[in-house]
Amino acid sequence: MSNPHAKNRLKTPSQIAAEMPVPPSSLPRTPQKSSTVPPVRRNTPYLPTPTEVALLAGYPLLLVFGAVFSLLSPETRAAPYDAVRHAHIQDSPLMPSYFARKDNVFNVLFVKRGWFWITLAFVVFVGTHPALSTSPARRARAGVRWAVVTTWWVFVTQWFFGPAIIDRGFRWSGGKCEVAEQEVQMGTASAGDVFSAAACKAAGGRWSGGHDISGHVFLLVLGSFFLVQEVGWVAARWARYLREERSVVMHDGAVKGAGIEAEKRDEGVAVSLLEAVGKGGSLAAGVIGLCAWMLLMTAIYFHTCLPGCWWLWRACILRTSSPAGFRRCDRFLGFLAFDRRGILHSSVDNIHKMALKAPPNLPELVRTTFEKAVAGGHVNFYRTQVALLQVNSILKENDKKPPFNPFANPEPDLLIPFAASLLTDHILVLNKFAIVPEHFILATKSFKHQTHLLESDDLAATMACISSYSSHSHSHQRQSQRQEPEGQELFAFFNSGPASGASQAHRHVQLLPVEKMRDGISEGGQGGEWDLLAANLRDEVVRDKLPFRVFVGEVHTDMTGPELHRVYRGLYSQACVACGKYFGEGAEVEAAISYNLAMTGDIMVIMPRVEEGAEVTDEDGVAGRLALNGTVLAGTALVKTQREWDALRQDAEQVIDVLRRIGVPNMTAEAGARM
C-alpha cells in the first residue's frame, strides 16, 4: 500500500513555500472605483432651497428686463400707450409687436385659459411618470397639492366669498368703477353690484384709481412655479441630478426628504434628461417655457413695475401742500428722476427743463381717428370751395343757449389715442366741426381759462405735437428715398380774448396739418400760389407789408417748456406795448389783451387784436361780417356765406380793409400791400 505522505516528502522546499497561505497585507493592491455617493443635503421644510431661490429670482429679473426693454426699444416707446388699460392702443398702425396685441393667439388660447393648461400638464405628468406610477398614495397627495394651489388661484383672481382678492385690493387701495359709482350715488345700483372688475366692465364702466394687480402675471408665476416644483423634484430624484433635497413635514410630525414622494431609478441604468422628465414632464416643460415667454411679453407691452415710480414722480412734481413731503420727494428725485416712458434725468431741475416728446406716429393716429369719426358720423366735415381757407374751430353757440364745454367730457370717438404718460395735463380731440381734414385740438384736462396766459406745459405739449409731425415726415422721406419734403407740417394757433375769434372759454390750442390746408386750396387750382404766412414772417420786408403788426420769435423743436415760455412772454409783452401805443399815451392796458398766437417748428408769432372782424359789402349793401381767428397768421380766412364770398371776389380791397381793422395798424405798411 502506498504511503499518503509520500508526495509531501517528494516536494521541494520552493514548492512547499508556494503552497503556504499569503498574509492579506502582503497582497498587491488593485485600484478600485469607490461606490460611495456624496450625501444629499437636506434643507429646512420652511424655506426655499438654494435651487428654488435661484429659480424664484428669475421672475423679478424677467420683469425688470422686460421693463427696461420697453424703455429702451424705439418701437415700443414710439407706440401709443393707454395707461388706463395697461396696453398699447390696439388699432394703432405702429403696434410694436404681434405680442402687444391682446388678441394674439397665445394670449387668447393660452394665457386667458392658463389654469387649464397648467392642470393638463400636471395631470399628464402625474399619470405617466414612472416615479409616481407605482404609488396611488403619491398621486393622491400630488392631487391635494394641486387642489390647494388651485384654491389659492381662485381666491386671488376669481372669487373670495364674494369679489376676488384682486378686486378687494383694488377697492381697498382707493379704486372705483367710474360709471357705476355714479349709479350708486343716484340710487340705481348698490355698492355690491360694482365691487368687481367683471361687474364694472359689464356695466360699461372702467376701474379708476387704486392699485390694480395683474391677474395675468399672478397666473403665469403661480402656475409655472407650481409645475417647476412638481416636475423638477421628481425628475431630479429619478435621475439623481441634484445633491440637495426639499424636506417635508409628515402627518406624524417627522421631517423627511421630499423624495419620499417619488422613487429612484434602478442603479446602473443610464437616464437622459428627456427620459428623466418623461413625456408628461416634456409637456409641463413646454407650458413652463410658454409661461415665461408670455410673462416677458406682459412686462414689455402690458403691466410693468414702473407706474408706481411714475405716479410718485408726478406727485412730487406737483409739489403737494406738505413741505416735509416735498423735501422727501425732492431728495428722492435728486437721486433719480424717472419718467414713465424712459426719459432719465439726474436732478429735479432737469425734470422741469425737459422737452416733451410725442410719438412719431401722431399723424397716423390723427388720420385714423378722423376717418373713423367721419364714417361714424361723429365729425361734421364741411368741404369748402377754395381760396381763402380756414377754420373756425367750433361754431359759435347762440347767446341765449347755456354755454357748452366740448372739452370737459369729449365724445370717446373724437379722442385721439395718445401717450398720456407724456402729456398728462392735456388731451387731444378732433374738431367736431371740421373744414380742414384732420383738424384736431390740444385742450387742458382740467378747466383753465382761455384768456389767461399760456403756461410752459401748454407750449411744450404743442411743440411736442409739431415735432411729431416733422419727425414723421423725415422718417417717411428716408424710407421712400425721396428728396423733396412731403409737407408733413403742423400749424398751431391759439385765440385769446373777445377780439381774437375765440369761441370757447376752456383753454385749447388748435392744430392744422399744413398738407391738408394745401390740398384744399390745390383743388381750386391755387395750391401752388399759397404758402404758410407765418413761415415767411422772419423776413422784415414781409412783415412791413402787412396791414397789421406782428411780433416774431425763433423757436425749434428741441426747446423745453420754460424756454418756449420765455419767447412767448417776450412777444406778449411787445404786443401789450403795441396796444398801449395804439390806444394812446397813458391809456391803461389790461394784462389780458386779445391776441392770436401761431407756432410752427421754427417760429412763434403773436398778433395783437382790437376787433374780431369787420363788415363786407356788395352792391346791395352789407353782405355779411368777415370774422377772423388765428388762421389769419396762416394766410387764410373762413368765409361763411356765398354772398360774402362773391363780395370779396368782386372787391378784394375789402380783405385788406378788414385786416387793417382787426389788428394794430402797421404804419410802415406799403399802400395796397396784399397777403
* Residues near 80 by beta carbon (within 8 Å), at least 6 away in sequence: 88, 89, 92, 94, 359, 361, 365, 417, 418, 419
Is residue 466 located within the same domain as residue 525? yes
What's the CA gap between 333 and 314, in Å, rounded? 11
Residue 2 belongs to a domain: no
What's the CA gap between 469 and 455, in Å, rounded? 22
What's the burial of 333, exposed, middle or buried (CB within 10 Å: 0-12/13-18/19+)? buried
What SS3 state is found at 5? coil
Q: What is the pTM of this model?
A: 0.48
Phi/psi for 110 (5° steps) reads -110, -60
CATH at residue 429: 3.30.428.70
What's the CA gap between 475 and 357, in Å, rounded? 16
User: Angle 603-607-613 (CA atoms, 0-180°, nearest 5)?
Assistant: 135
Q: What is the pLDDT of residue 190?
A: 46
Largest Cα–Cα separation, the chain: 173
Is residue 418 located within the same domain as residue 492? yes
User: Angle 536-539-540 (CA atoms, 0-180°, nearest 5)?
Assistant: 130
Pairing relationship of beta strands 244-245 and 41-42 according to DSSP bridges: parallel
* Residues near 215 by beta carbon (within 8 Å), at least 6 away in sequence: 156, 157, 166
| pLDDT tens string 207-262 | 555 666 778 888 899 999 999 888 887 777 776 665 666 666 666 667 766 555 55
Using the 3D structure, point to which of 321, 353, 385 is the last residue of a domain. 353
Range of the domain at 238: 41-175+210-301
Give per-residue burial for 531-554: e unless 16+ CB within 10 Å, then b. ebbbbebeeeebbebbbbbbbbbe
Q: What is the pLDDT of residue 566?
A: 92
Residue 505 belongs to a domain: yes
Q: What is the pLDDT of residue 331?
A: 36
Is residue 288 located within the same domain as residue 399? no
Q: What is the pLDDT of residue 30?
A: 47
Is residue 319 located within the same domain as residue 276? no
Is residue 349 located within the same domain as residue 497? no
Q: What is the pLDDT of residue 287?
A: 92
Given the C-alpha cell 428686463, which residue does it identify?
A: 65
What's the burial of 484, exposed, middle or buried (CB within 10 Å: 0-12/13-18/19+)? exposed
What's the burial of 105, exposed, middle or buried (CB within 10 Å: 0-12/13-18/19+)? exposed
Q: Inter-axis angle of helices 362-375 and 456-480, to 10 degrees?
A: 90
Strand partners, 656: none
Residue 186 belongs to a domain: no
Is residue 125 located within the same domain as residue 254? yes
| pLDDT tens string 283-314 | 888 999 999 998 898 888 886 554 434 333 44
Using the 3D structure, point to which of 263, 281, 301 is the last residue of a domain. 301
Regions of the chain short of the pLDDT cut 50: 1-2, 4, 6-8, 16-17, 24-27, 30-38, 179-194, 202-204, 268, 270, 306-355, 386-401, 419-421, 477-487, 527, 583-590, 671-675
Q: What is the pLDDT of residue 303?
A: 65
Is residue 590 located within the same domain as residue 574? yes
Residue 195 belongs to a domain: no
Is residue 327 located within the same domain as residue 378? no
Residue 646 belongs to a domain: yes
Closest CA to 277 of 494, 476, 124, 493: 124
The conformation of residue 354, written as its DSSP 8-state character, comes to: P
Is residue 312 located within the same domain as residue 286? no
Is residue 331 located within the same domain as residue 218? no
- Per DSSP, helices labelled H in 136-272 are 136-157, 165-172, 178-186, 197-202, 215-239
Is residue 325 located within the same domain as residue 402? no
What's the CA gap between 514 and 602, in Å, rounded? 14
Is residue 51 located within the same domain as residue 92? yes
Q: What is the pLDDT of residue 310?
A: 39
Q: 3-state SS of 102-163?
A: CCCHHHHHCHHHHHHHHHHHHHHHHHHCHHHHCCHHHHHHHHHHHHHHHHHHHHHHCCCCCC
Given the C-alpha cell 485600484, which residue does it identify?
A: 31
Count of domains in the chain?
3
Residue 13 belongs to a domain: no
Q: What is the pLDDT of residue 179?
A: 45
What's the CA gap between 188 and 203, in Å, rounded? 12
What's the CA gap between 566 and 519, in Å, rounded? 35
